Amino acid sequence: MILESLLKPTQHIVISEGILGGTNVISSQKTVADLKNFFQDEAERSKIDQQKLLYKVQAHLPVDEGTPGGLFFGTTWLQPGTIGDEYFMTKGHFHKLADRGEYYWGLKGGGVLILMDEKRNFRGEYVYPGSLHYIPGFTAHRVANTGNTELVFGACWPSDAGYNYDEIARNGFSCRLIKKEGKAHLISANSRNPAIL
Ligand code: S6P
Ligand code: ZN
């Protein structure tokens, strides 16, 4: 039968929501406890319910982590809120193979993609439904939710990129996204002077 080679895809996606289904899809989540020492106001973070969900991630991993030449594809659901005056955010990371790039795109809600190169120069890009972000290699990336609703974004990255969370755990980002008079400001981590955005 000539139609035998026409197969149903192994994966599917609820395109507007980013929800993934099919084989080799993994899920993980991060709570307030998992981001100990990531926010400027650690005292405030420690007072919040430690089991409170900050974000969850789904990812389709069609090959083993570390395999050269493959791609991974994921969605992140980041809750709205602040700790002190700092917006809820992902941990952020460089890649273990530092030159590996990544795409992010906005699906729902609003926020900011915070980028920092290896010289600790930082910049931010607004994230909104339809925004598309190319994250070059050697660039740490983190997303903060500046809205009142869940922020949903997609990602696609090389299967050998891996994660380097240590650098951020040790030295943090050189900037923070804070809420001041109801608006988002990306400021140098060492100053309280609003910079760009
Ligand atoms: C993976 C990609 C995303 C993040 C996710 C959570 O390279 O960048 O799937 O893993 O947004 O962020 P983080 O910094 O906690 O891994
Ligand atoms: Zn990444």
Determine whether the shortest distance from the Cβ of 90 to ligand 1 is under 6 A: yes
Task: Using alpha carbons, select from 57, 67, 98, 71 the residue that is nearest to residue 157.
Answer: 71
pLDDT of residue 2: 65
Quickly list H helices, the chain.
42-47, 166-171
Mean pLDDT of 70-81: 98
Residue 197 has pLDDT above 70, yes or no: no
Residue 9 has pLDDT above 60, yes or no: yes
Determine whether the shortest distance from the Cβ of 168 to ligand 1 is under 6 A: no
Mean pLDDT of 75-94: 98
Residue 52 has pLDDT above 70, yes or no: yes
Q: Which of 65, 93, 102 to mutate to test the pocket of ligand 1 (most atoms within 8 A of CB)?
A: 93
Gap from CA of 154 to ligand 1 centroid (Å):
10
Residue 194 has pLDDT above 80, yes or no: no
Gap from CA of 49 to ligand 2 centroid (Å):
27
Mean pLDDT of 47-73: 98
Residue 113 has pLDDT above 60, yes or no: yes
Task: Tell me the pLDDT band of 190, cut-offs 50, 70 and 90.
Answer: confident
Of all protein residues, whose CA lies closest to atom 15 belonging to ligand 1? Answer: 91
Gap from CA of 102 to ligand 2 centroid (Å):
6
Of all protein residues, whose CA lies closest to atom 5 belonging to ligand 1? Answer: 76
Share of the chain above pLDDT 70, in %: 95
Residue 3 has pLDDT above 90, yes or no: no
- Do 78 and 88 touch, CB atoms closer than 8 A? yes
Task: Tell me the pLDDT band of 161, cut-offs 50, 70 and 90.
Answer: very high
Task: Using alpha carbons, select from 19, 58, 187, 197 the residue that is nearest to residue 125.
Answer: 197
pLDDT of residue 193: 42
**Cα 12 to the center of its chain, rounded Å:** 21
Tokens of 32: 């307030």
**Cα 83 to the center of its chain, rounded Å:** 17
pLDDT of residue 1: 58
State the average pLDDT for the chain.
95
pLDDT of residue 4: 77
- What would the DSSP string read from start to end of 84-105? TTEEPB---BB-SSTT--EEEE
Comparing 74 with 190, the larger pLDDT belongs to 74
Mean pLDDT of 182-192: 86
- Do 77 and 56 touch, CB atoms closer than 8 A? yes
Distance, CA of 115 to CA of 136 (rounded, Å): 9
Of all protein residues, whose CA lies closest to atom 11 belonging to ligand 1? Answer: 76
